[in-house]
Amino acid sequence: MTLKKTNFGKIKYRGRFAPSPSGELHFGSLLAAMASYADARHFNGQWLLRIDDIDQARVVADSDQHILSTLEQCGFEWDESVSYQSQNLKHYKMALKELHQLTVTYLCSCSRKQIQAALENSHIKNGIYPGTCRHKTSQADHQQNRDHAIRLKVSADEVCFVDLIQGEYSQNLQQDIGDFIIYRKDQVFSYQLSVVIDDFQSQITHIVRGYDLLDSTPRQIYLQQLLGYPVAQYAHIPLAVTEENLKLSKLSQAKKVDCNLETLVQAARFLGQNTLDTKDFDNKSDFWQYLVTNWDINKVPRMEKQMIMV
């Protein structure tokens, strides 16, 4: 698939940070916030905040407020008002309708067990949907079919892009991913679909985020192409892992970020930036000014993960 030329009109740079409100802001998410913020501000761009609360079952009450206040204490300053995925449902519905009209969607009633059984009798890679329901119906009307998921037909073309940190990346969606779910059986729009629409709605030009989302990017670019959206510029920073190789998340009991200068300097160093010592900064705004001025995305390590002491 050849990429359409990015066309955002007169918009120069609009970046964003989009945490899910499923707990406190930990060091891993601070890194994504810092990298996206510093890159945007370095290029005099705007930086927006979005709360990715599409999966309401995972939302922890008030954690959005905790995240916002932690970001504020850290010294982040965002443009415009904070947006919430849960308030954008009508746009997701419209996009789903557009995809139906392109006849690239179909209903899928397969259970995990059925998919596993179908894979055992085939040469398809494990974890890839074998396409069982692909030919059942060409149109997927979720209003009338509430016990089905909706899948998107993927093409056999290679999706390629150049990541600002990780370099060239490509995926053959048919071989590597398979037809993927855009609307779940439990009536929730998928992460892949919602994020593409949100970024388009907010006219986001640059997406800087964690390495764990690198392999989602070709699916998102494929959706952008289908919907006729401009393709954003992506950059994926290494994940912070503990000594035991655990990702910093609630699962590895990552602590809530302590918003002091030391933590900020530690995060900037993790991102490969040559910052001064904590003692060389008078305060946090002094630190931010230094980081934004001297930010260089080329210095961010081209790695999947990097160990951090917490």
Residues in contact with Zn ion by CB under 5 A are: 108, 110, 132-133
Rounded Cα gap, residues 6 and 8, in angstroms: 6
- Cβ 132 to Zn ion shortest distance, Å: 4
- Cβ 134 to Zn ion shortest distance, Å: 8
DSSP secondary structure string for all residues of 207-234? EEEEGGGGGGHHHHHHHHHHHTPPPPEE
Cβ 108 vs Cβ 149: under 8 Å: yes
> Could you identify the residue written with the tokens 């916002």?
68
> Could you identify the residue written with the tokens 């990429």?
3
User: 49 or 108, CB closer to Zn ion?
Assistant: 108
User: 107 or 265, CB closer to Zn ion?
Assistant: 107
- Cβ 108 to Zn ion shortest distance, Å: 3
- Cβ 109 to Zn ion shortest distance, Å: 6
User: 182 or 268, CB closer to Zn ion?
Assistant: 182
Q: Output DSSP code: residue 168.
A: E
Query: Quick one: which of 253, 210, 255, 242 has its CA closest to 35?
Result: 210
User: 87 or 138, CB closer to Zn ion?
Assistant: 138
User: 130 or 210, CB closer to Zn ion?
Assistant: 130
- Cβ 179 to Zn ion shortest distance, Å: 9
Rounded Cα gap, residues 111 and 101, in angstroms: 26
